[in-house]
Amino acid sequence: MEGGPSARIREGDCAVLKRDEVFKAVSVLRRRKIIFEKQWFYLDNAIGHIYGTMFEVTSGGNLQPKQEVEETTTETKEAGTDNRNIVDDGKSQKLTHDDIKALKDKGIKGQEIVQQLIENSTTFRDKTEFAQDKYIKKKKKKYEAVITIVKPSTRILSTMYYAREPGKINHLRYDTLAQMLTLGNIHAGNKMIVMETCAGLVLGAVMERMGGYGSIIQMYPGGGPVRAATSCFGFPKPFFDNLHEFPLSKVQSLLSGTFSTETLPAEPEENALVEEESNGLSEEKQTSLQETEEEPATEAPMEINPTEEQDTMDINAEDAEFKENKEKENKENVREKQIKQWERRKKLKEAAALLKEKNADGLIVASKFHPTPLLLSLLEFVAPSRPFVVYCQYKEPLLECYTKLRERGGVINLKLSETWLRNYQVLPDRSHPKLTMSGGGGYLLSGITVVLEKGKSDSSNSEALKMEEPSSKRCKLQDLPC
Amino acid sequence: MSFVAYGDTIRDGDTAIVFLGHESMFPVKVQHGSVTQTKYGVIRHSTDLIGKRYGSKVTCSKGGWVFILHPTPELWTMNLPHRTQILYSTDISIITMMLELKPGSIVCESGTGSGSLSHALIRTVAPSGHLYTVEFHQQRAEKAREEFREHGVEHLVTVTNQDVCKNGFGVSNVADAVFLDIPSPWEAIGHAKSALKAEGGRICSFSPCIEQVQRTCLAMEEYGFTEINTLEILLRVYNVRTVSLQIPDLGKAAEDNSSTGFDSSSPSHQGSPCANLQQGTVQFKSGVPLREVVGHTGYLTFATKSLV
Query: Cis omega (within 30 of 0) on the bond before A3?
Result: no
| CA-atom Rg of chain B in angstroms | 26
Q: Residues A261-301: pLDDT tens digits?
A: 764 534 344 444 433 333 333 344 333 334 334 433 334 44
Q: Which residues of B touch A185 (CB under 8 A)?
A: 72-74, 123
pLDDT at A323: 66
Instruction: Select the residue of B217, B229, B235 nearest A419 (Cβ to Cβ).
Output: B235
Burial track A411-434 (b if 16+ CB lie within 10 A, e otherwise):
bbbbbbbbbbbebbebeeeebeee
Pick the closest to residue B24 from A451, A477, A357 (CA basis): A477
Q: Which residues of B touch A391 (CB under 8 A)?
A: none
Q: Residues A384-422: pLDDT tens digits?
A: 999 999 999 999 999 999 999 999 999 999 999 999 999
What is the average per-residue pLDDT within A168-191?
98
CA distance B268 to chain A (A): 10
What is the average per-residue pLDDT within A219-225?
94
Q: Which residues of A touch B68 (CB under 8 A)?
A: 385
Q: Which residues of B touch A182 (CB under 8 A)?
A: 74, 89, 92-93, 96, 120
Q: For chain B, first and last CA: distance in Å?
A: 44
Is residue A469 pLDDT above 60, yes or no? no
Q: Which residues of A touch B70 (CB under 8 A)?
A: 385-386
3-state secondary structure of A188: coil
Residue of A nearest to B1 (CA): A385
Instruction: Select the residue of B93, B127, B272 nearest A182 (Cβ to Cβ).
Output: B93
What ipTM was reported for this prediction?
0.93
Q: Is A187 close to B218, i.e. CB distance below 8 A?
A: no
Q: Return the half-sphere exposure (C-beta side, CA atoms, 13 A cut-off) of residue A218.
A: 29
pLDDT at A57: 86
- Is pLDDT larger for residue B121 or for residue A335? B121
Q: Is A175 close to B233, i.e. CB distance below 8 A?
A: yes
Test mutation, B17, B238, B274, B302, chain A, max A CBs within 10 A: B238
Is residue A314 pLDDT above 50, yes or no? no
Q: Is B56 close to A2, i.e. CB distance below 8 A?
A: no
Model confidence, pTM: 0.85
Cα–Cα distance, A221 to B174 (Å, whole number): 43
Is residue A205 pLDDT above 90, yes or no? yes
Let me know: does B104 contact A211? Beta carbons within 8 Å. yes
The C-alpha angle with vertex B11 and arms to B8 and B15, in degrees rounded to 5, equals 95
Cα–Cα distance, A347 to B56 (Å, whole number): 33
Q: Which residues of B touch A188 (CB under 8 A)?
A: 4, 103, 126-127
pLDDT at A107: 72
Q: How confident is the model at residue A60 (pLDDT cuts 50, 70, 90)?
A: confident
Q: Residues A228-270: pLDDT tens digits?
A: 999 999 999 999 999 999 999 999 999 999 888 764 534 344 4
Is residue A456 pLDDT above 80, yes or no? no
Q: How confident is the model at residue A23 (pLDDT cuts 50, 70, 90)?
A: very high
Instruction: Select the residue of A155, A361, A451 nearest B53 (Cβ to Cβ).
Output: A451
pLDDT tens per residue across all 308 residues of chain B: 789 999 999 999 999 999 998 779 999 999 999 999 999 999 999 999 999 999 999 999 888 899 999 999 999 999 999 999 999 999 999 999 999 999 999 999 999 999 999 999 999 999 999 999 999 999 999 999 999 999 999 999 999 999 999 999 999 999 999 999 999 999 999 999 999 999 899 999 999 999 999 999 999 999 999 999 999 999 999 999 999 999 998 887 655 555 444 444 444 444 444 555 556 899 999 999 988 888 899 999 999 998 75
pLDDT at A69: 56
Is residue A368 pLDDT above 90, yes or no? yes
What is the average per-residue pLDDT within A8-27?
94
Instruction: Select the residue of B74, B228, B238 nearest A183 (Cβ to Cβ).
Output: B74
What number of other Cβ atoms are within 10 A of residue A387's Cβ? Answer: 24
pLDDT at A135: 81
Residue of A nearest to B271 (CA): A400
Mean pLDDT of chain A: 81
Is residue A457 pLDDT above 70, yes or no? no
Q: Which residues of B touch A448 (CB under 8 A)?
A: 55, 69
Q: Residues A129-144: pLDDT tens digits?
A: 888 888 888 887 777 7
Let me know: does A233 contact A199? Beta carbons within 8 Å. no
Let me know: does B172 contact B197? Beta carbons within 8 Å. no
What is the average per-residue pLDDT within A330-346?
88
Q: Is A187 close to B240, i.e. CB distance below 8 A?
A: no
**Strands, E, within A188-347: which ranges?**
191-196, 215-220, 243-247
Q: Which residues of A touch B100 (CB under 8 A)?
A: 153-155
Cα–Cα distance, B107 to A135 (Å, whole number): 39
pLDDT at A308: 40
CA distance B255 to chain A (A): 33
B222 vs A: CB within 8 A: no
Is residue A164 pLDDT above 80, yes or no? yes
Q: Is A384 close to B56, i.e. CB distance below 8 A?
A: yes
Cα–Cα distance, A301 to A437 (Å, whole number): 23
Instruction: Select the residue of A7, A188, A426 nearest B213 (Cβ to Cβ).
Output: A426
Q: Classify residue B151 by burial, with Cβ atoms within 10 Å: 0-12, 13-18, 19+.
A: buried
Cα distances (Å, whole numbers) of residue B160 to B4, B172, B189, B203: 22, 14, 18, 19
Residue of A nearest to B233 (CA): A421
pLDDT at A101: 81
Q: How confident is the model at residue A75 (pLDDT cuts 50, 70, 90)?
A: low
